[in-house]
Structure 1
Amino acid sequence: MKKISFLFLLFVLQCNSTLLWAQTEPEEIKQDADQFEDSFYESLLQKGIENYDKAIVSLDKCLKLQPNNATVYFELGKNYLASKDYKNAYSSFERATQIDPTNEWFWVGMYDVSYETRNFSQAIVITNKLITFDSKYKEDLTSLYMATSQFDKALDLINELNETSGKTERRELYKIQILSEGKYQNTEISNLISQIEKDPKEESNYIALINLYSRNNEEEKAFETAKKLAEAIPTSEWAQVSLFKNYLENNEAQKAINAMNITLASAKIDSKIKHRMLNEFLIFTDKNPQYSPDLEKAIAYFDSDKEVNVAKEVGKFYHNKKQWDKAIKYYERALKNGDSEDIETNLLLLQAYTEVKQFELVGKKAMTMIESFPSQPQFYYYSGLANNQLRQFKKAKDILEMGLDYLVDDKTMEINFNIQLGEAYNGLGDDKKKELYFSKANQLLKEKKQ
């Protein structure tokens, strides 16, 4: 909150001699006037060298001569405030406003005391009075509403000032703070819709509305707003979001790619919007593989994304379609760009390697992961499976038996372990143990089906 500064008020001596000294001899009047002037300027001198107590004594002498002089009370207030005597400071400024309520700076003195003592409720009352002198005090009122958590009043005032005076960084930060509480978002949505109707060429209102919808996971409304923006301001970067969707629907691939690249490169556009756009282009590319190089370029925009590992999500997309080579490509990229020891990504990659029978890679990757995560049974399973396929049956048996110790309440994995142990003992020529483990696997399968 910006504290209102005092301006130095030049004192003009006002001697109401007709009323106050009507019965006083001229020489006495002159003496009193001289005494008043001397005492007043002595107070200014003492205040200038920070002798506030002496300044107050001199001003008290002035009050004895002119008890209704508002300027003397104002000066008293300043000296009391400087010496942190807030009670007397406030009462002095207040008395000055009672004598002359038309002087803005007397009210400013009351505000300053209220601010110093953090009496923001009192400051709000005074600021509303100050607004009658100058509307600039609405900025201070906004800060006071924020300090007293009167967010509804603050939001209304922020919107008013944005419309009449233009936006400021401080007010925008206040608005972000207010809108973090969901109950105020509907009010702001209504305000933004109204602002768009009033001025359809103001891009910032569309962007704010899109961001609000996106924050609330109302993606359809966000895209609908982007579409309106595209119609109103076709050159806007945000407009490309809507244009991209229209181009895809009309099978205008190159135009869609251009719009996508502009959007992905923009620092203004919310990451959720970008992720959704990439997902739509991924689906399009799956049906139109000739645009795969453009997909590669689009995915590269997300390589430094700390929130979502996009390459991993693309890998899952191809994984679900059983397009194993593509899934492997993106899982490897995900591990390179992100957390190389992410358990889920490594397990998905091991499954994809297994599907394309790259057992040497399965064995090598699984052993690396066992070193990092010795209590994860899945990695022992893949290592055992790979070694069985590579006909290294003794190694497979030893690794699988170690992994059994970490199995807890996972029947599917236990079945797989027993099958691979049966394969290992079969390769070693131990028919008795082979039958034992295959039998265990069959029994667990029956139990699982029940």
Structure 2
Amino acid sequence: MFSKIRFLVLFIILLAIMGCNNQFISSGIIYMQQNEFDKAIVQFNEATKIEPNNAQAYLWLGKAYGYKQKYETSAKYFVIALDKDTSGKIIKEMKETVEFYWPVLFNAGTGFLNNKDAKERKSDYESWLNKAEMVYDTSVNYDYLVLLYAELGDEVKMIEIIDKSTAKNPNNLSLYFNVAKYYVRIEQYDKAKDYLQKAIDIDSKNPQILYWMGEINYSTKKFDDAVLSFNNFFEAQAALDSTAKAKIDSYRGDASFKMGKIFLDEKKKYADAVKYFKTALEINSEDIEAMLNLGFSYYKNKNYADAIKILDDYMKKANIEISALYYIQSDCYTRMKMDKEGIKAYDKARELEKQGK
């Protein structure tokens, strides 16, 4: 925010520039200095009516809304001011006071992330981010333009802005990461891996990037590569402090579940599968899919008592009875020489099977 002294200095300078030709602007500036922003807005609106091409009137109108934290309305008037200015004074002032103007334009331009209306308001967000780039030359503006075009599914424009961004900052890790996630979303996994690899080349210990590489390898059934990537993720996450580690613990849960599936279904290494599914359940005790697969893993690993218990727990938590699971329990009891319990589980399985369960 401007201090009162700075406002007075700007006021004197602007009056000199404008020659006090527009009394509404003069009155509005006085209200601004007094923090009477609503009254100032009334004055600046009147100024635009009598001088619709007066860039300064729109600039001050944008400032008033900016101080009220109405960023989109503020940005709208800043764009009008820039478009109407033929002298270069508007952009000069914005660059000289970048700490005010840039955040307003940037916050407005990134509004699509929360508003979820990128398609309906593409031109607004595009304009605000482009004007933010004019005011403050940073690759961050381009990064969010990339996200905007990704949201819109405009790959051509997205690639164009990626090139501009990487020209400014070739080690832009977050850009590569976000582009990779866009390609994952549209299931273009080869392109996603290309961008993730660029990110890994910059930071080989970033756990989120390593997780996503594992996710892609898992989705494309490259299971050996997935195991390597997930193990790299586990190592990187373990090296974080407790706060940072907790923030991405859900990633560890998902990676553990997928590692369990790989060792259960693909590698047939059931003891390893048990370990990973137990970890997934430690992280999220409500993960019934992990519970079910842990039961299968126990069974395959000949941990019959554990298999019986966890499959019981699964059916209770899921509020369901499944004939196939009772058949497994019956076999477990039989292998444990518990014939009475085995027969009981078998009969229950047959009963459920007749009911189509």
Q: Deviations over 1:111-165 (max 9, x none)?
A: 3256415022345268779x9xx97776544302435754433331245569933
Contact kept, 8 Å, 1:142 with 1:154, in 2: the verdict is: yes
Query: Conserved in 1, the CA contact under 8 Å of 2:250 and 2:283?
Result: no
- Pairwise CA RMSD: 5.2
Equivalence map 1:51-70=2 (5 Å) = none
8 Å Cα contact 1:189-1:209 kept in structure 2: no
Q: CA deviation at 1:172?
A: 2.3
Q: Where in structure 2 are the equivalents of 1:238-317 lying within 5 Å? A: 238=166, 265-266=171-172, 269=175, 271-276=177-182, 283=190, 298-299=199-200, 301=202, 309-317=208-216
Q: Which residue of 1 aligns with 2:105?
A: 175
Superposition pairs for residues 97-108 of structure 1, below 5 Å?
A: none
Q: Is the 8 A contact 1:114 1:123 kept in 2?
A: no
Q: 1:267 to 1:102 in 2, by over 3 A?
A: same
Greater shift after overlay, 433-442 or 168-177? 433-442
Checking the alignment, whether the CA contact within 8 Å between 1:384 and 1:396 is kept in structure 2 is yes
Q: Residues 65-84 of structure 1 correspond to what in structure 2 (within 5 A)? A: none
**Sequence identity, in percent?**
13
Is 1:226–2:137 an aligned residue pair?
no
1:116 matched to which residue of 2? 34
Shift of 1:186: 1.5
Per the TM alignment, residue 350 of structure 1 is displaced from its structure 2 partner at its CA by 1.4
* One-letter amino acid of the structure 2 residue matched with residue 315 of structure 1: G
Alignment of 1:382-393 (within 5 A): 382-393=293-304
Matches within 5 A, 1:81-100: none
Q: Is 2:13 the counterpart of 1:5?
A: no
8 Å contact from structure 1 (residues 363, 386) kept in 2: yes
Deviation at 1:175, TM superposition (A): 1.6
The 8 Å contact of residues 331 and 342 in structure 2, kept in 1 or not, is answered as yes
CA contact (8 A) 2:59 2:78 kept: no
| Structure 1: gaps (5+ residues) | 10-100, 196-202, 231-235, 241-261
Q: Judging changes above 3 Å, is the alpha-carbon distance between structure 1 residues 331 and 163 closer, same or farther for their aligned structure 2 residues?
A: farther
TM-score by length of 1: 0.51
Q: Are residues 1:328 and 2:261 paired?
A: no
Task: Say if 2:79 is the partner of 1:155.
Answer: yes
One-letter code aligned to 2:257: L
Q: Distance in 1 between matches of 2:211 and 2:350?
A: 35
The alignment of Structure 1 onto Structure 2 pairs a total of residues equal to 311
| 1:353–1:184 Cα change, 3 Å | closer
In 2, Cα distance between equivalents of 1:106 and 1:224: 42
Could you tell me which of 330, 342, 351 is aligned with 2:261? 351
Give the aligned residue type for 2:78: A
TM-score for both structures, normalised by structure 2 = 0.61
Give how far 1:427 is off. 1.0
The answer as to whether partners of 1:375 and 1:406 remain within 8 angstroms in 2 is no
Contact 1:421/1:434, CA 8 A, preserved across alignment: yes
CA deviation after TM superposition for structure 1 residue 276, in Å:
4.4
Aligned counterpart for 2:272 among listed residues 358, 361, 383: 361
Structure 2 gaps of 5+ residues are 13-18, 238-247
Residues in 2 aligned to 1:5 and 1:137: alpha-carbon distance in whole angstroms: 17
**Counterparts of 2:209 and 2:288, CA distance in 1:** 27
In 2, Cα distance between the equivalents of 1:398 and 1:187? Answer: 58
Q: Distance in 1 between matches of 2:254 and 2:42?
A: 58
Q: Name the CA shift for 1:316/1:163 in 2 (closer, same or farther; >3 Å).
A: farther
Alignment correspondent of 1:217:
150
* Structure 1: distance between partners of 2:83 and 2:138: 11
What CA distance in whole angstroms lies between the structure 2 residues aligned with 1:442 and 1:301? Answer: 58
| Equivalent residue letter for 2:41 | S
Is the 8 Å Cα contact of residues 210 and 232 (structure 2) preserved in structure 1? yes
Deviation for aligned residue 1:446: 6.2
Question: In 2, Cα distance between the equivalents of 1:204 and 1:390?
Answer: 60
CA 1:190/1:365 → structure 2, altered by over 3 Å: closer, same or farther?
A: closer
- In the aligned structure 1, how far is the partner of 2:232 from the partner of 2:351? 40
Equivalent residue of 2:318, what SS?
coil
> Equivalent residue of 2:261, what SS?
helix
**Aligned residue number for residue 255 of structure 1:** none
> Hey, what does 2:241 align to over in structure 1?
none
Tell me the distance in 1 between the aligned counterparts of 2:346 and 2:137.
67
* Cα distance, 1:354 vs structure 2: 0.9
Distance 2:79 2:85 in 1: 10
Kindly indicate whether structure 1 or structure 2 has the higher relative contact order, using CA contacts under 8 Å at least 6 residues apart: 2
Contact kept? 2:217, 2:226, Cα under 8 Å: yes
Report what 1:26 is aligned to. none
- Partner AA of 1:173 in structure 2: P
2:105 and 2:128 in contact (8 A); partners too: no
Contact 2:28 2:41 in 1 (8 A): no
Distance 1:163 1:107, change over 3 A: closer
- More deviation, 173-182/437-446: 437-446
